[in-house]
Chains A and B, each alone.
Chain A
Amino acid sequence: MLPFLLKRFGLALVSLLGVLVLVFAMVRLVPGDVVTNLIGLEGNVSPERREELRRLFGLDLPLHVQFGQWFGALLQGDLGTSLRTDRPVLTDLALRFPVTLELTLFALLIALAIALPLGVTAAVNRGKTLDYLASLFALVGIAAPSFWLAILFILLFSLKLGWFPPTGYVLFSEDPLGNLRSLFLPALALGMSLAAATTRIVRSSLLEVLSLDYARTARAKGLPERAVVYRHALRNALIPVVTVVGLQVGNLLGGTVIIEQIFGLPGIGRFALEGINLRDYPVVQGAVLLVAGAFVLVNVLVDVLYALIDPRVRFE
């Protein structure tokens, strides 16, 4: 196990370093440069002031020195300050990350709560109406864009039925039930494509296991089908499900950007979008870095979890 862990973490570190370089390079992709762009928003500025601004951003230094300084600050937890509010970016990220995390986990929970029963039902009723309905759900759930589903949910569950608030966020510490209510529709919209994909995997994986010898043996010794499915097959059928779900959790993180925007949730995604609109580059940089970092971490955790479940993985 130890060599596997070392190798996996080593690769993750390389990826993270690459992420850092890429995020650093992105700001340099801005046509013209950051300063010209900022000035563009604020009207005419004297050449002296422009030079002063360039120095402020360290843009007068050679690239590798700029990177070194940026990286050094990063290691001390300094992600820079917002160009608009002068607040440290890290402070704002720390305030907003819990919202994004809660939304992601809630979406994961909803996706599993839909996919596991639906996938098992489909497999057990293979070829019958229930199976076709589950397949239809899976196909449409993967194809429909989350932000459009979000809008349909708002239309139906908030505006027509009034069950959930259409936008806004309630702090958990103030009103736990209100908090869950304010996050339910966003999480449902975000989790729908994962629910659809997982339903398919649960169904096909369970069908495969049910055709194996030990399932046949269990049937042959007279066990009722329910016991075969739930006591023998399901546990083994869930191994591939863990991989697929694990790979998708990271994408849920990325999907929060657009969902937070629609529902007006104060998470990392909306923070980044505000930064984009205001050309607040340190904010965008910090937010992208945080989410990409979390994404890499999630992928490592999934691999480790998978190695724990299925020891064969460690020796590949």
Chain B
Amino acid sequence: MTQTQAAPAARARLLRTVLRSPSALTGGVLVLLVVLCALFAPLLAPFDPVAYNPADRLQGPSLEHPLGTDIYGRDTFSRVLFGARTSLAVAAISITLALLAGGIAGALAGFFRGNVDVVVMRLSDILLAFPAVLLAIALLAFLGGGFWNLTLAIAVVYSAPFARVARASVLRVREEAYVEASHALGNSPWRILFRHVLPNAASPLIVEVSLRLAFAILAEASLSYLGLGTQPPAPSWGQMIADGRQLLETSPWISIGPGLAITLTVLGFNLLGDGLRDLLDPRLRRQ
């Protein structure tokens, strides 16, 4: 009974606190905006993002084409809207995978310690021994590009940080008195892990998800720029910037629009992550 009453109250409190943090609010609005653009791209886009339209090629920004057109006459604004789909899909799927793999491994390592801990930590050491983008590039060099390989590569790269964060958080929570109490009551370790430890260890992971989504968007863009990401014709922001590179002197707008989109999206996730950190962990709140 107490739980059913507490839940809406807690939610309302969370909402109130989020509204109090300007950075969480700004970030949340930006992220929401990008998500809406991605979801409703077919409705919002004034033009077909892939169909060639030679009559309109390389036009500068105008009322009809707010971000200009590319060498095939495609409307850059429409392509940016559809590019949000690629970017968000890769980021969301890869970070979910990284959270599941890294988060579970890290939580088990922190909770059971011993050999599990040693193995998980050494594996994450190895993954962390590469600069992140370089590891993704190397994996794609051998696996080949494409949507799923790209998603998988980013997931592998970012699973190690999740393992670290989950482990540290679980290590802290498992020393709490209520965990000890649950042990004393004779509850099984698995029950303790899922009922008591994980729910209380989750907040650093929530912050980490938001910040890592920002990294994943940047990684997706970089890898697509290098031609290792999703393949044409589906528009992707990184690839659009690469297309514009050749025509920079005459048609700079081709690269400018998608770059702005990346920057705003990453900014949104960063602000949201920073704001959530301040809200969820008052000790880290800035003066």
**How many Å from the CB of A299 to the closest CB on chain B?**
8
- Mask of B139-154 contacts with A, CB within 8 angstroms, 1/0: 1011110000000000
* Closest chain B CB from A275 CB (angstroms): 8
Beta-carbon contact of A16 and B138 below 8 Å? no
Q: What 1/0 flags go to B247-262 for Cβ under 8 Å of A?
A: 0110010011001001
Which secondary structure characterizes the binding site on chain A? helix
Within A8-56, the residues touching B (CB, 8 Å) are: 11, 14-16, 18-19, 21-23, 26-27, 29-31
Inter-chain contact B129/A19, CB cutoff 8 Å: yes
Partner of A251, one of B131, B221, B263, B264: B131
A272-B226 Cα distance, complex, nearest whole Å: 12
Contact between A148 and B129 (Cβ–Cβ < 8 Å)? Answer: no
Q: In the complex, which residues of chain B have a beta carbon less than 8 angstroms from the beta carbon of A143?
A: 214, 262-264, 266-267, 270
CB < 8 Å neighbour of B259 from A145, A204, A272: A145
Inter-subunit contact B222/A140 (CB<8 Å)? no
Asked if residues B130 and A19 are in contact (CB atoms below 8 Å), the reply is: yes
Residue of B with least CB distance to A258 = B222
Interchain CA distance A255-B249 in the complex, whole Å: 25
Q: Determine the chain A residues whose CB is within 8 A of the CB of B130 once the complex forms.
A: 19, 254, 288, 291-292, 295
Is the Cβ of A23 less than 8 Å from the Cβ of B138? Answer: yes
Residue A152 interfacial (CB < 8 Å): yes
With A29-B142, A254-B133 as given contacts, are A14 and B287 in contact (CB-CB < 8 Å)? no
Interface size on B, residues (CB 8 A): 44
Q: Are A14 and B263 in contact (CB under 8 A)?
A: no
Give bound CA distance, A211 to B286, whole Å.
13
Chain B 107-161 interface residues, beta-carbon cutoff 8 Å to A: 122-123, 125-126, 128-134, 137-139, 141-144
A109 within 8 A of B: no
Majority-rule SS of B interface residues: helix
CA A278 – CA B118 in complex, angstroms? Answer: 39
Q: Which residues of A contact B286 (CB under 8 A)?
A: 204
- The contact of A208 among B126, B238, B287, by CB within 8 Å, is B287
B132, B222, B287: the one within 8 Å of A145 (CB) = B222
User: Considering the chains assembled together, what is the distance between the CA atoms of A146 and B225 in angstroms?
Assistant: 11
A11-B129 in contact (CB<8A):
no
Is A139 touching B142 in the complex (CB atoms < 8 A)? no
User: B133 to A15, Cβ gap below 8 A?
Assistant: no
A284/B131 in contact, CB under 8 A: no
Q: Are A151 and B241 in contact (CB under 8 A)?
A: yes
Tell me, yes or no, whether A61 is within 8 Å of chain B by CB: no
A66 in the interface, Cβ–Cβ < 8 Å? no
- Bound together, the chains give a CA A22 to CA B226 distance in angstroms of 22
Q: How far is the CB of A48 from chain B (nearest CB, A)?
A: 27
What is the total number of residues of chain A having a CB less than 8 Å from a CB of chain B?
53
Write out the residue numbers on chain A whose beta carbons fall within 8 Å of the beta carbon of B267. Answer: 139-140, 143
| Assembly CA distance A276 to B137 (angstroms) | 9
Give chain A interface residues in 104-120, CB to chain B under 8 Å. none
- List B contacts of A261 (CB < 8 A): 226
Q: How far is A147 from B31 in the complex, measured between Cα atoms in Å? A: 22
Q: Contact: A257 with B248, CB < 8 Å? A: no
A148 touches B142 (CB 8 A): no
* From B122, B125, B226, B255, contact of A151 by CB (8 A): B255
Determine how close the nearest CB of chain B comes to the CB of A248; give it in whole angstroms: 10
A148 touches B137 (CB 8 A): no
Contacts of A21 in B (CB 8 A): 126
Q: Is the CB of A140 within 8 A of B287?
A: no
Residue of A nearest to B138 (CB): A288
B197 at interface, CB cutoff 8 A: no
Task: State the B residues within 8 Å of A (CB).
Answer: 122-123, 125-126, 128-134, 137-139, 141-144, 214, 218, 221-222, 225-226, 228, 238, 241, 244-245, 248-249, 252, 255-256, 259, 262-264, 266-267, 270-271, 286-287
A-B CB proximity, top 8 nearest: A254-B131, A18-B126, A148-B259, A143-B267, A143-B266, A254-B134, A276-B141, A15-B129
Q: Give 7 pairs: A residue, B residue, CB < 8 Å, sorted on A.
A: A27-B142, A29-B142, A143-B262, A155-B248, A250-B131, A254-B130, A288-B134
Interface residues of A (CB under 8 A from B): 11, 14-16, 18-19, 21-23, 26-27, 29-31, 139-140, 142-148, 151-152, 154-155, 159, 204, 207-208, 211, 250-251, 253-255, 257-258, 261-262, 272-273, 275-276, 281, 284, 288, 291-292, 295-296, 299
* 16 further contact pairs, Cβ within 8 A, besides A143-B214, A143-B270, A255-B131: A18-B123, A26-B141, A29-B139, A140-B263, A142-B270, A145-B225, A145-B238, A147-B241, A151-B241, A151-B259, A152-B256, A155-B252, A204-B286, A251-B131, A257-B226, A272-B141
